[in-house]
Amino acid sequence: MRTLIALLVLIPFAAQAATPDPEAKTIMTGQCAACHTIPGIPGAYGDIGPSLKGVASRKTIAAGILPNNRANMVKWLMHPQAVLPTAKMPDQGLNSAQATKIAAYLETLDK
């Protein structure tokens, strides 16, 4: 019974974790969705870049050159060409706060 109660208490937090920050959602809808499929982002069915489904469970990002952690994801989101000059992903002009909000949402995409 205690386990059931604990699960019922945690369900709202699990749902909240997968909801992107409104600013991140706006950015991803406007700037990322054209190239990437992003679960939870309406209209994000692009196929130019890789699907971001399960991105949180990947060991590396940026064409396999960076370990997958928040700091590296923010770095990649802000300046993909500086990380990998041959990257097809263009610089989106994101600031640190915007990239951090997007990275936080991407961390929820583990399946």
The pLDDT tens digits of the residues spanning 47-81 come to 999 999 999 999 999 999 999 999 999 999 999 99
- Residues 72 and 61 sit within 8 Å (Cβ to Cβ): yes
Rg (CA), the chain: 15
Amino acid at 19: T
- Residues 10 and 23 sit within 8 Å (Cβ to Cβ): no
Amino acid at 52: L
Structural domains of the chain, with CATH: 21-106 (2.60.40.420)
The pTM of the full predicted model, rounded to 2 decimals, is 0.81
The CA distance from 73 to 24, in Å, is 14
More confident residue, 41 or 3: 41
